[in-house]
């Protein structure tokens, strides 16, 4: 199972602070919320704005009762939704790595760096989620009108939800952290799903349950989306899978190597300038 990238595959970013004992579980969640809530909340607002077009376009297709229109709308809207969701994941992953820095400066740089790489994953994500919403609505709508679609259909819908969100739990962090084609990202995500099945399943269930509640609470769900929305589910899911990703991809070790290499290059440049200034004219 070829999962391990080289150090050159990692995207450059700010350095990692010296290791300190980290809390786990609920304690870690509240530590990050208390320390990085402002950045995560602002990133969440930007993500909500980025998803507004795809939500509106898909809703138009829903009113037309046309799955092809919904899927096409999702694909178009995913062009913007992908980069803003990548920005959300970048913010959360930096918090999990305990990286110091001003949120807006790091977010802006990460957004530009990840923009092109996150478009195709964004299209895929929006198309899949839109199709899933349509299938769930179809099943419940048929049941409401007195027709049961049958056990195989229900099992297929549930497996579709669980498996794809297991995949996405490992896909988005790789989009943010690694320079690699989407095919390799999906292959790695599938391998991680199998290798860390309990964690993948837990992250998937968190996403499904949370967004299911948001949808069921509509129109109040719009307020929940603005306040909690993407940062809440993203933080919990990343906290669940981050240890697996760090174990497989050596995230912090490779980022530290990049930081050390950048520092060494800066020092070498300064030494060259000093030597040039010391030469006799």
Q: How far apart are CA 238 and CA 235, in angstroms?
A: 5
In sequence order, which residues have a C-beta less than 8 Å from that of residue 210 and are 6 or more positions away?
A: 228, 232, 233
Q: From first to last of its 281 residues, what are the pLDDT tens digits of the chain? A: 344 444 445 555 444 445 556 777 788 888 888 888 889 999 999 999 999 999 999 989 888 888 899 999 999 999 999 999 999 999 999 988 888 778 888 899 889 999 999 999 999 999 999 999 999 988 988 888 888 888 899 999 999 999 999 999 999 999 998 889 999 999 999 999 999 999 999 999 999 999 988 888 888 878 888 888 899 999 999 999 998 998 888 887 877 777 777 777 767 666 666 666 666 55
Q: How far apart are CA 233 and CA 210, in angstroms?
A: 7
Per-residue tokens: 39: 């950045």
Per-residue tokens: 151: 């056990």
Taking alpha carbons only, the member of 110, 104, 62, 53 closest to residue 81 is 53
For residues 106 and 93, the answer to whether their CB atoms sit within 8 Å is: no
Residue whose entry in the numeric block shows the structure tokens 């989009």:
175
Q: Within 10 Å of residue 149's Cβ, how many Cβ atoms? A: 16
């Amino acid at each position: 199972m070829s999962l391990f990238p080289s150090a050159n595959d990692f995207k450059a970013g700010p350095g990692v602070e010296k290791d300190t004992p980290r809390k786990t579980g609920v304690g870690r969640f509240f530590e990050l919320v208390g320390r990085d809530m402002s950045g995560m909340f602002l990133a969440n607002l930007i993500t909500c704005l980025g998803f507004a077009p795809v939500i509106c376009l898909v809703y138009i297709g829903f009113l037309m009762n046309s799955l092809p229109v919904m899927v096409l709308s999702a694909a178009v809207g995913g062009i913007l939704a992908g980069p803003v969701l990548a920005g959300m994941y970048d913010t959360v992953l930096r918090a999990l790595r305990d990286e110091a820095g001003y949120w807006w400066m790091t977010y802006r740089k990460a957004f530009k760096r990840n923009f092109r790489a996150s478009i195709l994953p964004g299209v895929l994500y929006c198309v899949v989620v839109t199709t899933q919403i349509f299938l769930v609505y179809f099943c419940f709508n048929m049941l409401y009108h007195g027709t049961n679609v049958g056990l195989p259909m229900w099992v297929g819908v549930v497996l579709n939800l669980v498996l794809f969100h297991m995949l996405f739990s490992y896909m988005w962090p790789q989009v943010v952290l690694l320079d690699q084609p989407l095919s390799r990202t999906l292959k790695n995500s599938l391998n991680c799903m199998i290798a860390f099945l309990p964690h993948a399943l837990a992250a998937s269930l968190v996403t499904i349950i949370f967004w299911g509640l948001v949808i069921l609470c509509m129109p109040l769900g719009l307020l929940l989306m603005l306040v909690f929305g993407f940062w809440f589910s993203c933080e919990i899911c990343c906290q669940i899978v981050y240890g697996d990703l760090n174990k497989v991809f050596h995230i912090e070790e490779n980022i530290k190597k990049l930081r050390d290499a950048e520092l060494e290059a800066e020092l070498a440049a300064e030494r060259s300038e000093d030597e040039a200034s010391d030469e006799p004219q």
